[in-house]
């Protein structure tokens, strides 16, 4: 890393030369993000927003992937890319607001809450660096802190909600731990539900048994490790049990991963590798990582070959264009937040996922959200029998067949128009990839047509496929990858 | 690649014949013969690997075999799957690149196709030896496919040469076969890699395939080395290679 030039412009602290960029590029940083999420969740505003809006319990891998991608954009060399991503995050957060169970309003744009998010990320990065035996020295810590403040400034316009220097940061942090946090439901959901129920990552999909075994051991261990590294006062306040041996386990794990990071080929511990695993079909890895993706492909092939498999297993779910039962469609596709009912945050999360994938600008994003909102009103009008503003599984099952209303078709058309970036009336292979990140594969015709760059999808086909999928009449590999998996 | 240690064949192909007879001689069902064949396959791979053979092709199941009774075909597919899964690490550890010929048939069970694709992917970077399993392969069909591919590519007739034609065959990097071993004394080609065996030496050991062992394989290599390959001319410049250009 070349010595970073000193700039007065806060935005220029970020970029590929930043200390933070090298952390983002290290797969271990994922642990810091998880740990920071637990601390974030204790903030009353953030906890409420997470419980109501976030899909991370049902789709944690997608969320991790999106977080990594977003961080990478924030660290881009081009300030325009950073500004664009910051604007996108702001739009995304602006849509997240409401009132919690105690009737207090919350908003993802709250300056104090956002400062706390950045503070926990900073503290987690520092703590995990210390635990893995690579403590930051004073100047590095100041520099990293400056970068985190620049990140906040990029989002907020200023970083006033965070103290200006590291020595002033710790009293703020301790003060928040002592007074600003609550024992929110979100903490428990993350620690116990997320780790215990985390679905298989894309690589291991199709091997549920292997994943279940790994998760049974790894889930509690992960929860234990995260809890053990949390500040003592926080644990006391949140009533988190102090498990004997957890501290040693966590230090051993961090030290072990630290050593492994040094011993393993450098590329293996890069976040890009992790993203490759999260997204084996992905097309987005930079060329440098192409070779690496081959490695993860090899590893996945080996895992599949070595894991026992029922010799005559029937076709797996989602393999064919078989109709999905209304119940399963509800659970797997519609109920994105996994709370058992269909409400606006479920549809908003679909819009959010698509807007993020296509990197839409503000106007297109608005159109997409509008289309989703119209569909939501249509669903409410058609399905919400008791008028409580939510659609339950039962209400859905009773009227599922009438789902393909005009607003859904309109939504399909809007989605088509936003995905058809060159506006030529067809979705090309590249445009299709941007949306589904897989090679062009029209599900209707059964056979994926991977290599053929000329393969195109017309507006009529696209709308028909989308409506058939969203109304639960047909499952689809492409839409499964977008909205069901991870 | 010059002559090497006096003509170790670069590309050896085995037609694994005699499983059924082996079983019949022991009053066992034909499937028992197939099962016993696995040991011979592993032995042969080890022997070829040890002898420095760079390309080994095994003819496991031909297009015509689909005509066998359903139970036997199904058994063969299950056996192939089990073998692929059980031997994947063994093959990978020895630096053997594995590929399959003729796996496009929709009658091949999806699970087996998946495993074959995985094995190919796993061993893709290995270079010590390339093992090609001709499963559901037909030599004529390959040639027809190559012709179709040429026509689709719009190649003018006068530009079609032996060399350019070979580029349209499956796995075009495969060199010509130097030695074909067909066990059980049968002396037929049976539609096997017709294009690639044009200048191959043929050896027909009497052993039935399940009895074929590393020692038999090495004996075939010795026989091959003693033969004087001419490629139709007076004396070949090299004992291996792509054949005449």
Residue A241, chain B, CB below 8 Å: the answer is no
Q: For chain B, what is the mean pLDDT? A: 84
Most confidently modeled range among A288-292, B53-57, B156-160 = B53-57
| Residue range A100-141, pLDDT digits in tens | 777 777 777 788 888 888 898 898 888 877 776 677 788 888
Task: Lowest mean pLDDT of A12-16, A35-39, B80-84, name the range.
Answer: A12-16
Residues of B near A (Cβ–Cβ under 8 Å) read: 78, 81-82, 84-85, 88-89, 92, 110-111, 114-115, 117-119, 121-122, 124-125
Both tokens of A176, joined, read: 């928040």
For residue B110, what is the nearest residue in chain A, using CA coordinates?
Answer: A315
Whether the per-residue pLDDT at B238 is higher than 60: the answer is no
SS3 (DSSP) at A233 = helix
* Non-local CB neighbours of A268 within 8 Å, separated by 6+ positions: A292, A295
| Residue range A363-396, pLDDT digits in tens | 888 888 888 888 888 887 777 777 777 788 777 7
Contacts of B88 in chain A (CB under 8 A): 302, 305-306
pLDDT reported for residue B192:
86
Q: Are the C-beta atoms of residues A35 and A229 closer than 8 Å to each other?
A: yes
B236 domain residue, yes or no: no
Mean pLDDT of A54-59: 68
B115 domain residue, yes or no: yes
| Residue range A303-341, pLDDT digits in tens | 777 776 644 433 333 333 344 566 777 777 777 777 778
Whether the per-residue pLDDT at A276 is higher than 60: the answer is no
CA distance A203 to chain B (A): 13
CA A334 to CA A483: how far, in whole Å?
9
Whether the per-residue pLDDT at B133 is higher than 80: the answer is yes
Q: How many CB pairs under 8 A join A and B?
A: 39
Neighbours of A256 (CB within 10 A): 11
SS3 (DSSP) at A97 = strand
Task: Give the ipTM.
Answer: 0.74
| CA A290 vs CA A273, B92, B100: distances in Å | 10, 21, 24
Whether the per-residue pLDDT at A20 is higher than 50: the answer is yes
Contacts of A313 in chain B (CB under 8 A): 111
pLDDT reported for residue B202:
92
CB contact under 8 A, B122 and A298: yes
Per-residue confidence band for B234, with pLDDT thresholds at 50, 70 and 90: low
CA A9 to CA A12: how far, in whole Å?
6
Domain that residue B145 falls in:
11-226
| Residue range A219-255, pLDDT digits in tens | 666 666 677 777 777 777 666 666 556 666 666 666 6
Task: Lowest mean pLDDT of A15-29, A253-267, A338-352, A453-467, name the range.
Answer: A253-267
pLDDT reported for residue A269:
52
The CATH number assigned to the domain with range A326-484 reads 1.10.238.10
Please say if B65 is a catalytic residue: yes
pLDDT reported for residue B209:
92
pLDDT reported for residue A308:
67
Per-residue confidence band for B3, with pLDDT thresholds at 50, 70 and 90: very low
B234 domain residue, yes or no: no
Of A301, A309, A315, the CB nearest to B122: A301
B53 domain residue, yes or no: yes
Domains of chain A by residue range: 10-260, 326-484
pLDDT reported for residue B236:
46
Per-residue confidence band for A93, with pLDDT thresholds at 50, 70 and 90: confident
Whether the per-residue pLDDT at A345 is higher than 50: the answer is yes
| CA A287 vs CA A262, A272, A414: distances in Å | 23, 11, 32
Of B81, B82, B121, the CB nearest to A301: B121
CA distance B115 to chain A (A): 7
Per-residue confidence band for B5, with pLDDT thresholds at 50, 70 and 90: very low
CB contact under 8 A, A315 and B78: no
Contacts of B84 in chain A (CB under 8 A): 305
B136 phi-psi bin (left φ>0, alpha ψ -120 to 50, beta other):
left
Task: Lowest mean pLDDT of A4-18, A204-218, A331-345, A443-457, name the range.
Answer: A443-457
Please say if B191 is a catalytic residue: no
**Residues facing B135 on adjacent strands:** B61
B92 domain residue, yes or no: yes
pLDDT reported for residue A218:
64
Whether the per-residue pLDDT at B134 is higher than 90: the answer is no
Q: For chain A, what is the mean pLDDT? A: 70
CA A179 to CA A182: how far, in whole Å?
8
Of A297, A298, A313, the CB nearest to B111: A313
Contacts of B110 in chain A (CB under 8 A): 315
Contacts of B114 in chain A (CB under 8 A): 304
Mean pLDDT of B183-198: 88
User: Residue B154 belongs to a domain with what CATH number?
Assistant: 3.40.1180.10
CB contact under 8 A, B119 and A309: no
For residue A293, what is the nearest residue in chain B, using CA coordinates?
Answer: B121
Catalytic residue selected from B43, B65, B191, B211: B65
CA distance A28 to chain B (A): 26
Does A60 or B84 have the greater pLDDT score?
B84
Both tokens of B67, joined, read: 């005509």
Q: Could you identify the residue written with the tokens 């996994």? A: A338
CA A381 to CA A175: how far, in whole Å?
48
Q: Are the C-beta atoms of residues B193 and B13 closer than 8 Å to each other?
A: yes
pLDDT reported for residue A371:
85
B233 domain residue, yes or no: no
pLDDT reported for residue A289:
46
Interface test with A, best of B85, B89, B100 (most A CBs within 10 A): B85
CB contact under 8 A, A301 and B118: yes
pLDDT reported for residue A209:
61
Indicate the number of domains in chain B: 1
Contacts of B80 in chain A (CB under 8 A): none
Residue A452, chain B, CB below 8 Å: the answer is no
Catalytic residue selected from B17, B115, B178, B216: B17
| Residue range A321-330, pLDDT digits in tens | 344 566 777 7
Contacts of A304 in chain B (CB under 8 A): 114-115, 118
pLDDT reported for residue B53:
94
| Residue range A389-442, pLDDT digits in tens | 778 877 777 776 556 677 788 888 888 888 777 777 777 767 766 676 543 333
Q: What percent of chain A has pLDDT over 70?
A: 62
């Amino acid at each position: 890393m070349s010595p970073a030039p000193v700039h007065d412009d806060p935005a220029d602290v970020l970029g590929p030369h930043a200390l933070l960029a090298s952390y983002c590029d290290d797969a271990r940083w994922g642990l810091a993000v998880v740990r920071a999420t637990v601390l974030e969740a204790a903030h009353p505003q953030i906890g409420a927003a997470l419980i109501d809006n976030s899909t991370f319990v049902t789709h944690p891998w997608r969320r991790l992937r999106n977080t990594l991608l977003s961080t990478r954009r924030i660290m881009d060399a081009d300030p325009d890319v950073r500004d664009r991503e910051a604007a996108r995050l702001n739009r995304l957060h602006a849509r997240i607001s409401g009132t919690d169970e105690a009737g207090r309003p919350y908003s993802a744009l709250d300056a104090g809450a956002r400062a706390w998010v950045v503070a926990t990320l900073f503290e987690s990065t520092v703590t995990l660096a210390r635990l893995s035996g690579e403590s930051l020295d004073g100047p590095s810590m100041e520099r990293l802190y400056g970068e985190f403040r620049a990140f906040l400034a990029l989002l907020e316009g200023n970083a006033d909600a965070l103290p200006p220097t590291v020595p002033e940061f710790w009293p703020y942090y301790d003060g928040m731990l002592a007074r600003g946090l609550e024992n929110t439901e979100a903490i428990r959901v993350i620690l116990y539900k997320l780790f215990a129920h985390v679905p298989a990552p894309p690589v291991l999909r199709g091997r549920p048994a292997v994943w279940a075994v790994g998760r049974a051991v790894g889930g509690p261990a992960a929860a234990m490790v995260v809890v053990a590294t949390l500040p003592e006062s926080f644990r006391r306040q949140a009533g988190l049990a102090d498990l004997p041996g957890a501290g040693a386990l966590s230090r051993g794990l961090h030290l072990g991963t630290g050593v492994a990071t040094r011993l393993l080929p450098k590329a293996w511990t890069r976040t890009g590798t992790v993203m490759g695993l999260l997204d084996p079909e992905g097309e987005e890895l930079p060329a440098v990582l192409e070779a690496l993706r081959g490695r993860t492909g090899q590893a996945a092939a080996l895992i599949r070959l070595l894991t026992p498999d029922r010799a005559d297993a029937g076709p797996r779910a989602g393999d064919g264009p078989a109709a999905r039962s209304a119940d399963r469609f509800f659970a797997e596709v519609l109920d994105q937040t996994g709370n058992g009912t269909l409400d606006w945050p479920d549809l908003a999360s679909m819009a959010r996922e698509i807007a993020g994938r296509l990197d839409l600008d503000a106007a297109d994003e608005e159109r997409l959200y509008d289309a989703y909102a119209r569909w939501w009103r249509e669903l409410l009008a058609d399905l919400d029998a008791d008028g409580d503003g939510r659609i339950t599984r039962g209400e859905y099952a009773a009227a599922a067949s009438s789902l393909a209303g005009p607003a859904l078709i309109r939504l399909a058309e809007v989605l088509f128009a936003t995905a058809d970036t060159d506006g030529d009336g067809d979705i090309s292979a590249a445009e299709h990839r941007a949306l589904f990140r897989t090679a062009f594969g029209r599900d209707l015709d059964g056979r994926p047509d991977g290599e053929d760059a000329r393969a195109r999808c017309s507006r009529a086909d696209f709308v028909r496929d989308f409506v058939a999928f969203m109304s639960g009449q047909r499952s689809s590999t492409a839409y499964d990858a977008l909205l069901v998996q991870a | 690649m010059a002559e090497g240690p006096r003509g170790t064949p670069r590309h050896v192909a085995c037609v694994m014949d005699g499983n059924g007879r082996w079983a019949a001689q022991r009053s066992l069902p034909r499937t028992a013969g197939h099962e016993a064949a696995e040991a011979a396959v592993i032995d042969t791979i080890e022997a070829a690997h040890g002898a420095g053979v760079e390309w080994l092709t095994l003819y496991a199941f031909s297009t015509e075999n689909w005509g066998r009774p359903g139970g036997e075909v199904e058994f063969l597919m299950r056996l192939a799957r089990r073998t692929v899964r059980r031997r994947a690490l063994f093959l990978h550890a020895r630096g053997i690149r594995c590929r399959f010929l003729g796996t496009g048939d929709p009658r091949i069970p999806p699970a087996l196709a998946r495993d074959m694709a995985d094995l190919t992917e796993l061993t893709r970077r290995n270079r010590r030896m390339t093992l090609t399993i001709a499963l559901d392969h037909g030599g004529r069909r390959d040639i027809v496919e190559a012709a179709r591919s040429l026509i689709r590519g719009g190649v003018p007739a006068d530009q079609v040469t032996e060399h350019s034609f070979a580029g349209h065959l499956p796995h075009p990097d495969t060199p010509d076969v130097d030695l074909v071993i067909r066990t059980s004394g049968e002396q037929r080609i049976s539609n096997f890699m017709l294009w690639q065996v044009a200048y191959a030496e043929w050896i027909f050991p009497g052993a039935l395939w399940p009895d074929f062992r590393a020692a038999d394989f090495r004996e075939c290599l010795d026989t091959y080395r003693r033969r004087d390959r001419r490629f139709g001319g007076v004396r070949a410049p090299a004992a291996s290679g792509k054949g005449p250009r």
